[in-house]
Structure 1
Amino acid sequence: MGSLGALMKHPDDFYPLLKLKMAARNAEKQIPSEPHWGFCFSMLHKVSRSFALVIQQLDTELRNAVCIFYLVLRALDTVEDDTSVAADVKVPILIDFYHHIYDRDWHFSCGTKEYKVLMDQFHHVSAAFLELEKGYQEAIEDITLRMGAGMAKYICKEVETVDDYDEYCHYVAGLVGLGLSKLFHAYGSEDLAPESLSNSMGLFLQKTNIIRDYLEDINEIPQSRMFWPRQIWSKYIKKLEDLKDEENSVKAVQCLNDMVTNALLHVDDCLKYMSALCDPAIFRFCAIPQIMAIGTLALCYNNIKVFRGVVKMRRGLTAKVIDRTKSMADVYGAFYDFSCILKAKVDKNDPNAQKTMSRLDSILKTCRDSGVLNKRKSYIIENQSDYTSFVVVLLFIILAIFLVNLNPNWPNN
């Protein structure tokens, strides 16, 4: 569940973590019995546990379509990400991938760990895809075709300008937003959202991931993956990989802040998209990742640790986001709180301070103008020093009872 140290610092994380743990166990029990569907949902839990949790709340018909859409694009992404596969092999696969999803016998060995299993046994995904209704199939095929072509383009092309960056993010994530909007519309519960808003939903998530994953991508073996646009990083350094060097720490943080400021451009569109959703389950499905993204940006901003290791929200805070996100009041509140956290970290001497502050002020105004900020719990946690030793002792008693109930054979182990 959460680390012991984190629970000591944030005792109020315990209940949301407990609920998250129980939800995860319940989701695992709901895996279908049919072999191909069982493989798909089991694989979903392995490649993205958090996504698997939010998808489970959708109605069965839509849940199945979104699961297959995600696995198809995850497989496509695995081909793109595997730097050990030569470009002349990779590019044709990416371009033709939309054909392969109709082939029950197709597979391609690449990737590592659970991603390799997904690729080796992709025939299960194809079998499940072929059982979806035609409207879902057509939406998934269209996005797969366009994404594969876009990925192929950037196998042989570097991200030079900010326009390149936006185009690449459109291909690998904006199209996901467009595809999900098509699936929601095919399901019949939502109007078809404007493409610009759907695109921004994907770009905001993708840019957050690219910022957070700098070190992992730059250290990729046998070849680095470079997604930060030269137009931004060349203002601070000669080579992108130099950002991780300790002597370049000041410039690295300034470049990082520039990247975060760029990502904030998409927030207003994301808030508009979410405010138009009608179905409560679809709303939560869309809103939780967006809140996680703004929370991650608040954590990454002005943080040299992005260039030293893994930076991510603590599990207890993630559990709170999942537990609390039920309405637009919760979304506005979360974006307001995390934007305030980010704003407090802005150094007036940063080269982009004025631009960053302007974008944050715009987000804060939108959230205030919603008129619902008083209807949510704050993510800005006050000093925890007033928690007594009694609360901490009670926490461990509850934890011990929970662990014993999870494993009734524990005394005999």
Structure 2
Amino acid sequence: MHAKKHIPSEPHWVFCYTMLHKISRSFSLLIQELHTDLRGPVCVYYLVLRALDTVEDDTSIATDVKIHILMDFYRHLHDTEWHFSCGTNDHKVLMDDFHHVSTAFLELGRSYQEAIEDITRRMGAGMAKFICNEVETIDDYNEYCYYVSGLVGSGLLNLFRTSGREYLAPDTLSNSMGLFLQKPHVITGYLEDINRIPESHMFWPRQIWSKYVNKLEDFKYEENSIKAVQCLNDMVTDALIHVEDCLKCMSLFQDPVIFRVCAIPQIMAIGTLALCYNNIQLFRGVVKMRDGLAAKVYDRTKTMSDVYGAFYDFSCTLKSKINDNDPNACKTKERLEAILKICQNSGSLNKWKSYIIV
């Protein structure tokens, strides 16, 4: 309610903030916490990239048409009459009325426009590349996650730098934060993506899943439950490799508001990985963090000490779920021990009040 009082009254801005809230309530709250000069640019940035993502996700669009739209999407930011009908529900509304987003974009300062346009161009080109190419190797997987999320982090840093509020975090670290956000999204999206109509659209790398089954869809079937969980644990273990860089990057932020905007999604990511690990339900339905726990994360994340405490909590939870018979048990433990050591060496845990995690 407080944030609503600061939304500009022009119809295009009302549309942007309304869509922001409908498409992602959690990010909506974080974005509306930002300083006034950053709130509009980040809102537009988020909506532009979600629109791009909507085009990529819609498997009913002919491949040649989709590639053309993805490659040229950044050009449409300057056209207040352009729209493209695709997606479903609120995402369809965003695409049908995209002219509101373009209008808001053109009201931003030129430096903000250039930063948003650059990331949109690079992301669209990267998405187009993987429309035609499967994710075969872990390198492919990291490259795809870089295009769809690592670039998001780089773009945000550019917006923060443009505002004059942040300078220190290098793009290499922000890329790790992007990959660490995207990989839980790819992992939890298994069932939705494999069942997508008219055809599946998957990003689990063959280099990982082919160790367990012949076809990726085999994980849906109960007789493959053990192999499915083993592969899931392999995917989670792969994601943990980015945590050290994420913690380094978050420790560099100076502005407390920007820090929260970046840190809360990272904690949600490690929490989601802890929830997914060794959890067969991921192949049966939706797996997501409880609203009450998510609210605790939102409420209690104010300083880097809170981040160390949360990562320690969720890493301990994940470690407690490791089965010694899992093929990747040793590697998972090794990566978690490294994370736990960083958190312990921070000196923050003696004052940390642990989350109640069940």
The TM-score with structure 1 as length reference comes to 0.85
Q: Which of 269, 277, 281 is equivalent to 2:253? A: 277
**What is the deviation of 1:32?**
2.6
Question: Which residue of the partner structure matches residue 116 of structure 1?
Answer: 92
d(CA) in 1 for partners of 2:96, 2:78: 16
- Amino acid of the structure 2 residue aligned with 1:366: I
Structure 1: 4+ residue segments shifted above 4 A: none
Q: Identify the structure with bigger relative contact order (alpha carbons < 8 Å, sequence gap 6+).
A: 1
Q: Does structure 2 conserve the Cα–Cα contact (< 8 Å) formed by 1:298 and 1:338?
A: yes
Cα deviation, 1:91-114, whole Å, max 9, x if unaligned, reads 011001110001111110101111
d(CA) in 2 for partners of 1:89, 1:192: 40
The TM-score with structure 2 as length reference comes to 0.98
Alignment of 1:69-84 (within 5 A): 69-84=45-60
Q: Which runs of 5+ in 1 are unaligned?
A: 1-24, 383-413
**What is the deviation of 1:381?**
4.9
Cα deviation, 1:196-217, whole Å, max 9, x if unaligned, reads 1010111001001111111111
Question: Which residue of the partner structure matches residue 177 of structure 2?
Answer: 201
Question: Which residue of the partner structure matches residue 93 of structure 1?
Answer: 69
Q: Which of 313, 330, 353 is equivalent to 2:289? A: 313
d(CA) in 2 for partners of 1:77, 1:135: 23
Q: Does structure 1 conserve the Cα–Cα contact (< 8 Å) formed by 2:244 and 2:339?
A: yes
- Secondary structure of 1:33's aligned partner: coil
Compare CA radii of gyration and give the structure with the larger one.
1
Identity value in percent? 73
- Secondary structure of 2:242's aligned partner: helix
- Amino acid of the structure 1 residue aligned with 2:333: M
Alignment of 1:44-193 (within 5 A): 44-193=20-169
Q: Does structure 1 conserve the Cα–Cα contact (< 8 Å) formed by 2:169 and 2:253?
A: no
- Amino acid of the structure 2 residue aligned with 1:84: S
**What is the deviation of 1:376?**
2.4
Matched, 1:36 2:12: yes
For the structure 1 residues 149 and 192, does the alpha-carbon distance in structure 2 shift closer, same or farther, using more than 3 Å as the test? Answer: farther
d(CA) in 2 for partners of 1:120, 1:32: 22
Q: Which of 268, 271, 275 is equivalent to 1:292? A: 268
What RMSD over aligned residues (CA atoms) do the two structures have, in Å?
Answer: 1.0
- Amino acid of the structure 2 residue aligned with 1:317: L
Q: Does structure 2 conserve the Cα–Cα contact (< 8 Å) formed by 1:333 and 1:373?
A: yes
d(CA) in 1 for partners of 2:267, 2:319: 16
Q: Which of 197, 201, 221 is equivalent to 1:245? A: 221
Q: Does structure 1 conserve the Cα–Cα contact (< 8 Å) formed by 2:168 and 2:253?
A: no
Q: Does structure 2 conserve the Cα–Cα contact (< 8 Å) formed by 1:32 and 1:41?
A: no
Question: Which residue of the partner structure matches residue 406 of structure 1?
Answer: none
Cα deviation, 1:27-75, whole Å, max 9, x if unaligned, reads 4454331101000000000000010011111011101110000000000
Q: Which of 190, 194, 211 is equivalent to 1:214? A: 190
Q: Does structure 2 conserve the Cα–Cα contact (< 8 Å) formed by 1:31 and 1:42?
A: no
- Amino acid of the structure 1 residue aligned with 2:130: Y
Cα deviation, 1:105-140, whole Å, max 9, x if unaligned, reads 111010111101100110100010011111111110
- Secondary structure of 1:348's aligned partner: coil
For the structure 1 residues 381 and 97, does the alpha-carbon distance in structure 2 shift closer, same or farther, using more than 3 Å as the test? Answer: closer
Q: Does structure 1 conserve the Cα–Cα contact (< 8 Å) formed by 2:70 and 2:125?
A: yes
**What is the deviation of 1:157?**
0.5
d(CA) in 2 for partners of 1:377, 1:127: 46
- Secondary structure of 1:110's aligned partner: coil
For the structure 1 residues 381 and 252, does the alpha-carbon distance in structure 2 shift closer, same or farther, using more than 3 Å as the test? Answer: closer
Q: Does structure 1 conserve the Cα–Cα contact (< 8 Å) formed by 2:44 and 2:105?
A: yes
